[in-house]
Amino acid sequence: MKKFPAFKTVRRIILAILITMTGFISLGNNDSIFVNNVTNILTSYGFRNVAVCIDNSQVIITYENYDYRFEPDALHGLIGLVLPEASKYAGCSNLIIIVQRQQTPFLCVSIPADRFHFFLQSDNSPEDVSQYITSCSNVEEYWKIIKQVPVTNTLISNFDISIEPQIGLQLGDYKYPFKYEFNLLPEITTSLWKGMSLKYQLIVPVFRNHFVDESYYVRPGLVTLNQLFRLPYHTISNMTLGYFTQNRYGADIELGRYFFRDRLFIILEGGITGMGTYLKKGSVITRDSAGIPVNETIRNAEFRYSAIDYFNCRATLNYWLPRYDLNAAVSYGRYLYYQDVCEVSFTRCFDEYIFSIRALYVDNAYNFGFGLSIPLYPAKYKSNKKLRIRPFNNISYLYYVKNEFAYLQDTGTNFEGWIKYFNPYYVKNQLKGN
């Protein structure tokens, strides 16, 4: 039988295609095995909203911390779990980690594969390790890839109950020179969709010593619906509706953006609120919302509120000094009750311990004081259930020397309270060798 050269050529081409396809299938299976292994490891250790993919030999991982009290500790724990697997995967050239809050990306950390062995050594100092990490707030390049991957171990519909201790201190007169109170604030939070957080808090008085506060009974604290958005041009939107501090209810919105290689973070904030307060049956009101003296006994429990009558706004510039984990902030704006306020603060972070010095100028007067935040035990929580109860992350106290105060509602979700834990320089400085 005569063999045609053309037939032999076609047969060789088909054979080459089959071999090539077999090679691709084998590579794809290896990728799938690696992705599944890393995903299962992270979810088994309690990390939430986990997604893993491989793009152009780069391993991209995104997650949200739910177990660790301190965000850098969560990242450190994840790196310790992932690197042994990634170091065995020959196709990995770079490890990209995207850190989320409320399923919204805030931080991108990159570790080159040729430095994996350095992180796996146990005798390296934090300074040695951090020099091989690249961290930044610009997550868009990798987020548009990883967000296409379905997440596992979602936080949606989980209920988290935390209990926060609250201390109030006042300087009194000669008879009662030192006045104080201690409250517990149980709080339940959950999420119903991406970027959203729903919070309900109670204020439970425990004891007091002549502390000046008419509301000495169980009452609502923060009741809020918060939504985070990632907007174009690396801008973050933080929107909150509900009942805030200072007996205010309404809406508050913040826009934040990093500048100058993540050293400067600018916040623009605006709020529209009205007065609202829960009055217990039998409680006595000595002053109304305008500060006019009255003497009213509440006959039936009620929630008393006014029209939404105040608009407040402010701009804040936060400049981070990486070498000292120091944040210098300046704020100026129109606060509640038509106060024009300028605030200056310097905040120093010692790992989780935070100390700040503050000064403000309001209504042709000035005041100054300090703030302190101390972490509460334990450093890691258990989370493999839909409902858990845990202590609050920290206890905070703010003290001012004089009676000139700036009044502005706190939503419990403001950037000021948590954005520093996602600061690229701060997180990088806190990472320790595995």
What is the spatial distance between Cα 251 and Cα 258, in angstroms, rounded to a whole number?
24
State the average pLDDT over residues 301-310. 90
The burial class, CB within 10 Å (0-12 / 13-18 / 19+), for 251 is middle
Share of the chain above pLDDT 90, in %: 65
Higher pLDDT, 15 or 85: 85
The pLDDT, as a whole number, for residue 295 is 74
Higher pLDDT, 346 or 24: 346
Statement: residue 166 has pLDDT above 60: yes
The pLDDT, as a whole number, for residue 16 is 44
Higher pLDDT, 372 or 177: 372
Q: Residue with structure tokens 């936060």? A: 318
Q: Residue with structure tokens 């990242």? A: 75
Give 381's contacts (C-beta < 8 A, 6+ positions apart).
Answer: 66, 67, 68, 69, 388, 390
Are the C-beta atoms of 338 and 376 separated by less than 8 Å? no
The pLDDT, as a whole number, for residue 220 is 94
The pLDDT, as a whole number, for residue 427 is 93
Portions of the chain given CATH number 2.40.160.40: 159-420
Portions of the chain given CATH number 3.30.300: 5-146
State the average pLDDT over residues 239-245. 97
The pLDDT, as a whole number, for residue 258 is 97
CATH number of the structural domain 5-146: 3.30.300
Statement: residue 324 has pLDDT above 50: yes
- Enumerate the β-bridge partners of residue 360: 343, 367
What is the spatial distance between Cα 250 and Cα 111, in angstroms, rounded to a whole number?
43
The pLDDT, as a whole number, for residue 415 is 96
Q: 296: pLDDT confidence band, cut at 50, 70 and 90? A: confident
CATH number of the structural domain 159-420: 2.40.160.40
What is the spatial distance between Cα 218 and Cα 168, in angstroms, rounded to a whole number?
16
What is the spatial distance between Cα 376 and Cα 165, in angstroms, rounded to a whole number?
10
Indicate the helix (H) or strand (E) that contains 6: helix 5-44
Q: 301: pLDDT confidence band, cut at 50, 70 and 90? A: confident
What is the spatial distance between Cα 166 and Cα 175, in angstroms, rounded to a whole number?
25
383 token code pair: 């989370």
The 10s digit of each residue's pLDDT in 18-72 is 434 433 333 457 789 999 999 999 999 999 999 999 998 899 999 999 999 999 9
Statement: residue 123 has pLDDT above 80: no
Question: What would you report as the CA-atom Rg of the chain, rounded to the nearest whole angstrom?
Answer: 27
205 token code pair: 């008085």
Are the C-beta atoms of 50 and 62 separated by less than 8 Å? yes
State the average pLDDT over residues 393-412. 91
Q: Which is nearest to 105 in space by CA: 160, 64, 156, 55?
A: 64
Statement: residue 128 has pLDDT above 70: no
Statement: residue 127 has pLDDT above 60: no
The 10s digit of each residue's pLDDT in 183-228 is 999 999 999 999 999 999 999 999 888 777 778 889 999 999 999 9
